[in-house]
Amino acid sequence: MNGYGGKILRIDLSVKKSATVPLPEDLAKDYLGARGVAARLLYDEIEPGIDPLGDKNKIIIASGPLSGVLVPASGKVTFASKSPATGGYGDSNMGGMVAAEMKYAGYDVIILEGTAAEPSLVIIDDDKIEFASAAKYWGKGAMIAEKMLKEDLGDDFQIVTIGPAGEKLVKFACVSHDFGRQAGRTGIGAVLGAKRVKAIAIRGSGSIPLADPDKVIAKGKEMYDACFTNPAAKEWQDYGTAGVTPWVNEIGSFPTKNFWTTYFEKHQALTGQVMRESIVVTDKACFGCPAPCGKYSHAQSDKYDVFVEGPEYETTALIGGNCEMPTIEDVAYGNYLCDELGLDTISGGGVVAFALECFEKGIIKKEEVDGRELKFGDIDSFKYLVEKIAAREGIGDLLAEGVRTAAARLGGGSERFAIHIKGLEWSGYEARYAPAMMLAYMTCDVGAHHNRAWAITHDVAVGREEIAGKAPKVIELQHIRPMFDMLGACRLLWVEIGFPLHHYPEILRVITGYDYSLEDLLKISEKVWNITRAFTIREYGRFDRKYDYPPARFYEEPIPTGPSKGHYIDMDGINALLDEYYELRGWDNNGIPTTAKLRELGLDFLIPDMEAARGK
């Protein structure tokens, strides 16, 4: 199959057995790869109602048809599973080198099933699959373990690991790779931990068959040349995602003090420019990327001396603004702690900030935190909490469940400021004065995550007062951005340097021979959007629109300070956003896809489950 490794590798950890089957051509044609294929397989293979951290959950690791080929930034791999954070559909993708490597080994998809009897390594060396004890690596930090494994197995293995937080089943544990890339969201690190898989090592020596090799070379080079001459590329490479920090403050959307406000007075200390001048050592790319946003840093103070990839904007937002860290070095150190412990920095920053506010309000008491005085802006408080969380010790055991569960147990009005949707902590764009972005968060298929539809630029472009008319752009973005995730490419060249979309169906055509237009690809993206929605609806059973609501802070408390002072979207506004969105999507009043819509998309297999959910 041109453009594909050609095989699905299915690994049963319980019996240490593996089997390969050919990647079905229909699956590739209908869902392209990566996120698309993973979503369909997950829907088909996960028994409804299972425990995400139990034996029956699966992890689907999937590359795309562009992975490993001469295409700019073709390094994205998807990890999908039933999410322990939300209980619904979960996926998270990351860059690095592993998507390409698994394809060189011949695998488009790797499915992990069952549970290993002891901490284990899975070693995939082309056709040879081995299981080994991970006793030596268990308990080690994610990057330390990766370094050890590279030394033990060989530097040309690509390594996926979890940190101690994954081993301890922290609900926002991440999957780590390439010394600083993470599939951070939805807690898939905990699913690996529950399966007792410390690491997966992959090495591949093969090539990827191409429909038209000469045209792939020509088109691939054309795409690289277009990136090289792009005028926006330089600034993007200099500062990466951190370049956006001043702008998000200027528009008053920067998560600050557990989303209490949206402007951080000290944000000038955390900008990409400051970061570049003070801590960045090396620009670090994912596979095939001509404009690397990865910044590898060396952060030092009298308390620490660490190397870390980052901080990314999201980390700066959630550890920097949301926990009010005063220096970029402290943010980088917080980032380092999360990376080694194997915690998602977004949820990690969100949970710590939630705990700090609980402490300020007396909901978490001094005696529950070893007599400490916990404070915003204090790296020692941050370190204390993330280490407690990763070890599931004391208050950390409760916080390890995420803010939704922690607030439900702590009470005291903390639900109001438990900033999440569907159990996934909010990422780096506060949306009380950004209705399109608010809608994007509410309807994101994995919970409160920005990357499916970064609609905040649309808010700023068309005006942020108006509620009506925001849904079409959100839907458009929810189809474009996840399209990249199906292809196995990074969307950021398109987002950040305006790299044109027309390249993608063109390169896909010469790689695979599939003659899809951009509209065709976006239609597939819409199909996948309905499948992931249906997965969550099937899991939640009695679904209604309340699951799409933001926390009360966002619809009841006006922003107290900064450029967006006074703004918020009340419950009428929240419902108006959803009404418009559901109607345009062909979903009913509770947000469940209608039978007519599913028929139109050729997703008839979802109809019985959705009709059952509608009847509940």
Partner 1 sequence: MKIGLNEALCSGCRVCQLVCSLGHFKENNPKKAALKITGQFPAPGRFQIAVCNQCGSCAEVCPVGAIEKSNGVYKIDSDKCIGCHACVEACPLGVMFVHKDEKAPIKCDLCGECIRYCPRGAIFDADQAKEQEVSRG
> Which parts of this chain interact with partner 1 (CB under 8 A)?
68-70, 97, 100, 104, 143-144, 147, 155-156, 178-180, 204-208, 210, 213-214, 216-217, 220-221, 224, 227-228, 281-292, 294, 296-298, 307-308
In the complex with partner 1, which residue's Cβ is closer, 99 or 480?
Answer: 99
In the complex with partner 1, which residue's Cβ is closer, 292 or 326?
Answer: 292
In the complex with partner 1, which residue's Cβ is closer, 156 or 235?
Answer: 156
In the complex with partner 1, which residue's Cβ is closer, 232 or 460?
Answer: 232
* Per-residue burial over 410-424, b = 16 or more CB atoms within 10 Å of its CB, e = otherwise: beeebbebbbbbbbb
Please report, for residues 20, 175, 454, the alpha-carbon distance to residue 338 in angstroms, rounded to integers and kept in the order given: 35, 12, 25
Smallest distance from partner 1 to CB 291, Å: 7
Smallest distance from partner 1 to CB 400, Å: 25
**DSSP E strands, 23-104:** 59-62, 77-82, 89-94
Read off the tokens for 276: 């570049």
Smallest distance from partner 1 to CB 104, Å: 7
In the complex with partner 1, which residue's Cβ is closer, 3 or 320?
Answer: 3
Smallest distance from partner 1 to CB 285, Å: 4
What CA–CA distance (Å, rounded) separates 532 from 91? 9
The percent helix, strand, coil of the chain (3-state, each to 5) is 45, 15, 40
In the complex with partner 1, which residue's Cβ is closer, 148 or 518?
Answer: 148
For residue 123, the SS3 value is strand
Smallest distance from partner 1 to CB 175, Å: 17
What CA–CA distance (Å, rounded) separates 299 from 484? 33
What CA–CA distance (Å, rounded) separates 507 from 514? 10
In the complex with partner 1, which residue's Cβ is closer, 308 or 364?
Answer: 308
The closest of 327, 313, 317, 335 to 236, measured between CA atoms, is 313
Smallest distance from partner 1 to CB 98, Å: 13
In the complex with partner 1, which residue's Cβ is closer, 212 or 265?
Answer: 212
Judged on CB neighbours under 10 Å (0-12, 13-18, 19+), 90 is: buried
Smallest distance from partner 1 to CB 367, Å: 37
In the complex with partner 1, which residue's Cβ is closer, 136 or 298?
Answer: 298
Could you tell me if 133 and 120 are in contact, meaning their C-beta atoms sit under 8 angstroms apart? yes
Could you tell me if 185 and 424 are in contact, meaning their C-beta atoms sit under 8 angstroms apart? yes
What CA–CA distance (Å, rounded) separates 530 from 185? 20
Could you tell me if 322 and 255 are in contact, meaning their C-beta atoms sit under 8 angstroms apart? yes
Largest Cα–Cα separation, the chain:
68
Smallest distance from partner 1 to CB 238, Å: 12
Read off the tokens for 457: 């630029």
Smallest distance from partner 1 to CB 296, Å: 4
